[in-house]
Structures are given as structure tokens and as C-alpha cells.
Amino acid sequence: MQVVVASHPSSLEHDTGRNHPESPDRVLAVRRGMDECGLDIVNIESPEIQRSQLAVVHDASYIEMIEMYCSLGGGAFDMDTVVSEQSWLAALTAAGGVWALVEELRARSDATGFAISRPPGHHALRQRAMGFCLFNNIAISAALLRSQGEKVAILDWDAHHGNGTQSMLGDDPGVLYVSIHQDPFYPFDGHIQDIDAGEAKGTTINIPVPAGTAGDVYRRAWGELVIPVVKQFEPDWVLISAGFDAHVNDSLAELQLRSDDFGWLAATVAEIHPVNRVVATLEGGYDLEALQQSTVTTLMGLAGVAPMSDETGVSPAAAGHAVDKAAREIARHWKV
């Protein structure tokens, strides 16, 4: 099993400023995890996404504004989202890497893909940068796949809800969007009731869980709800918004996952879907050691080369109740 990794040197030049949690060190931590995992890593350089491809989910005026803002030296879009002159190229290649992996995996039968996308993407809206994100890397590739008639499941295990991804694709019945995330928490949306919103009933699945939720409840929600729904949806592609800020050591969230939990989540995806039609892309994750080790377990889980540990954390009772509530809503649309 090979892991095709897409990255670009510009990801290290996207300057968010001193002491910003979304730093170039994150890329280096992911790279260390890839060196440590012992798998056959095939590196490709992420190309620049084309403007026409960006425009499948972003307004042309917004794309032009990002380019101009960076060309003038950058600055802050909000208190979280900062860019420099080099951020324009980094944003183009962050999005381009995900699509390059889709095209690369079409010709491979024994490989899976991981995009080291920096800046991350799942908070980016059609006309707004937010939450460290400029372009919505995963939504762009999903929309391009949909334009070719293929069905896509997006699985988002970042600690924060992928509000941008849901807003861009939530009305398309050919896209299944699933997010398990801390609630209440930034960006303060991603509600269970969204399953009935818009034109695509049943294909937007949010599983909000309280602070303190650990791997036991994540594994239960994933195994009893997420995986059965994905199997019934029968996607052509599974795209994973692989954020690792739900880790117990990450200071930007209040969840309690361990590195092996991410490996377990990845392994269950690999059990039900061809891994040469799975692409994971980096979202959050700000504790560098946790990011490195979670990269190791995620890649091993996708590759199916080693069983993940059954040992995990114990959640408060409220976490189980939250999953029960989500399950009742999901059961109105799917067999779970």
C-alpha cells in the first residue's frame, strides 16, 4: 500500500504571524509523522488550482480580493485569519493538492491519498475567509467530482464544524456531509436539525458533542451512525477533512481523543470503501506532538497495516446522550 502525499513548499511560506497556532511548524509535524509511519510514501508537488476550479464554490470577486490583498502584503481578515504576500500561492496549492490526488488515485489501485493543505479550508465560505481558511480545499474537489457525475461523501472529524463545506454543498443530494464536532463551539453552527434543511434531505449529518467527549463516544458514533450511512449512500469518493484538534492535548478545543482514535476512524473507512478512492486533507491540529502521532495512526489506519488500540478515553454521560439525540434524527432518513 502506497500513500500519495501532495504538498508544496509555499505551505511553509504562508506567514500567519508570531505565536499564531496555525503555523508552518504544523506541516513539519505532519512530515515527521509520515517519516515515522513506515509506509511507502510517494510525494507529489501540489499544483496551483485554476481560477475556473476555484469558481465552482467561490465567487469570482472573492477570489480576486484574496489575490489583491495578498499582493499588497497581506494582513488580517479577522482576529484569526491572517495572510502574507506568499499566502496566495499557498492557498492555490493547498486546494490544488487535493484535486491532484483525486487525479493521481484514478490510475492507482493500491494507494491512498493525503494532502498537506495549508492554509486549511473547511471554514472558508463562498465570499468570506474565516477560521484560518481562505479557499475551501475539500469543497472544491467535491464540487469538481460532482460536475463529473460522481457521488462524494465528506467526513469531517475536525473539532470544529466545517460550516463552509456544509454551506457550499449542503443542497446537493449527491454529496453526503458528515461532521462530528464540539458543541457549543466555534463557528457555533452544525446543528442536528440541519439534516432536514435545504434541498437534500438526509445528506447533511451533524453530530454535535459536548466538551470532554472522548474516543469511546466518537467510536460509537462513527461505528453505529457514520459508517452505516456511508455504506447506504454508496459514494464514488470519500474525502476526509482530517483535523486533529479533537486530541486531548490540543489547546484549541476541549475534546479528549487520543492518537489511536484517529487511526481507528480511518481504519473503519478503509474497511468499507476502496482506499484508492479516499483522500484525506489536513484541517486543524495545533499541538505538534499530537499532530505528528495522529498523522501516523491515520495513515496506518487507511493503509490497514496494523490494528488500532482498543484503549480509549471515557466520556461524560452527556456525550452519550448527544449521540442518542443525533441517532434519532438520522434514523428518520437512514437505517442505523
**Residue 307, pLDDT above cutoff 90:** no
58 as an active site residue: the answer is no
Whether the pTM exceeds 0.95: the reply is yes
For residue 118, what pLDDT is reported?
Answer: 98
Residue-wise pLDDT tens digits, 58-102:
999 999 999 999 999 999 999 999 999 999 999 999 999 999 999
CATH 3.40.50.360 given to domain 2-6+9-330 = no
Taking the CA of residue 263 as centre, how many other CA atoms within 13 Å lie in the half-sphere pointing to its CB?
26
Alpha-carbon distance of 98 to 65, in angstroms, equals 23
Higher pLDDT, 75 or 304: 75
Report how far residue 218's alpha carbon sits from residue 265's, in angstroms, rounded to the nearest whole number: 9
CA angle 188, 206, 141 (to 5 degrees): 95
Q: What is the pLDDT of residue 206?
A: 98
Q: What is the mean pLDDT of residues 273-296?
A: 98
Residue 300 confidence (pLDDT) above 80: yes
- pLDDT (tens digit, 9 = 90+) per residue, 20-54? 999 999 999 999 999 999 999 999 999 999 999 99
Cell numbers linked to 319: 456525550
Secondary structure class of 269 (helix, strand, coil):
helix
pLDDT of residue 309: 80
Catalytic residue (choose from 123, 160, 181, 273): 123
Report helix, strand or coil for 32: helix
